[in-house]
């Protein structure tokens, strides 16, 4: 498998509980290098653009509200098969369905406040990385 890049967010429920370091430790232990990272606070409108694909879902407004409720940490992760690997270490969207040892099993509070986001494919990863990072910030 080739070296890939993926996009990751540590969500407000996790930054609020000071879990950034614990989550980063799990990502790094899985072989994902954090090649770019910054802590920011989105407006609801900015969250809305990021999650535009979910616009028609009943939870869209709640999701955007939550993502703007506190600081988030946005990251670019790099490694072998990084997209699938990150999704594996995150665990299922619903923490009740997440496997033992995954980030969501250990830290997520609910399906909405589920501590982390990760890109679901190569095209999405490119778009999501470009929404938050300029080329100059991706130093490898
Ligand atoms: P994420 O991987 O960031 O992608 C979309 C997000 O929508 C998802 O994680 C959840 O946080 C959120 N989400 C998905 N389903 C629900 C739901 N039923 N209720 C509230 N939020 C949800």
Condensed to tens digits (0 to 9), the pLDDT of residues 23-41 reads 999 999 999 999 999 999 9
Marked catalytic residue, from 103, 116, 117, 129:
117
Q: Is 92 helix (H, G, I), strand (E, B) or coil?
A: coil
Residue of 67, 92, 114 to test ligand 1 pocket, by largest number of atoms within 8 Å of CB: 114
Burial class from Cβ neighbours inside 10 Å (0-12, 13-18, 19+) for residue 105 reads middle
Specify the pLDDT at position 1: 73
117 is catalytic: yes
pTM, full prediction = 0.97
pLDDT of residue 140: 85
CB-ligand 1 contact for 46 (6 Å cutoff): no
114 pocket-lining for ligand 1 (C-beta < 6 Å):
yes
Q: Report which protein residue has its CA nearest ligand 1's atom 20.
A: 112
Q: How far apart are CA 121 and CA 6, in angstroms?
A: 8
Q: Of the residues 10, 58, 61, 112, which should be mutated to test ligand 1's pocket, given the most ligand atoms within 8 Å of the CB?
A: 112
Compute the distance between CA of residue 101 and CA of residue 90 in angstroms, rounded to an integer: 9
Contact 10, 23 (CB under 8 A): yes
* Residues 38-70: tens digit of each pLDDT: 999 999 999 999 999 999 999 999 999 999 999
């Amino acid at each position: 498998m080739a070296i890939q890049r993926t996009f990751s967010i540590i969500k407000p429920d996790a930054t609020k509980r000071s879990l950034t370091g614990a989550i980063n430790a799990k990502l790094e232990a899985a072989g994902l290098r954090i090649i770019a990272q910054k802590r920011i606070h989105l407006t609801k409108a900015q969250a809305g653009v990021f999650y535009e694909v979910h616009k028609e879902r009943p939870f869209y407004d709640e999701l955007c509200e939550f993502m703007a409720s506190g600081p988030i940490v946005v990251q670019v992760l790099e490694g072998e098969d990084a997209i699938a690997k990150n999704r594996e270490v995150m665990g299922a969207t619903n923490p009740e369905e997440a496997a033992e040892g995954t980030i969501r099993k250990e830290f997520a509070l609910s399906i909405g406040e589920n501590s982390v986001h990760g890109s679901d494919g190569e095209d999405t990863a490119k778009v999501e990385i470009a929404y938050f990072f300029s080329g100059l910030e991706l130093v490898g």
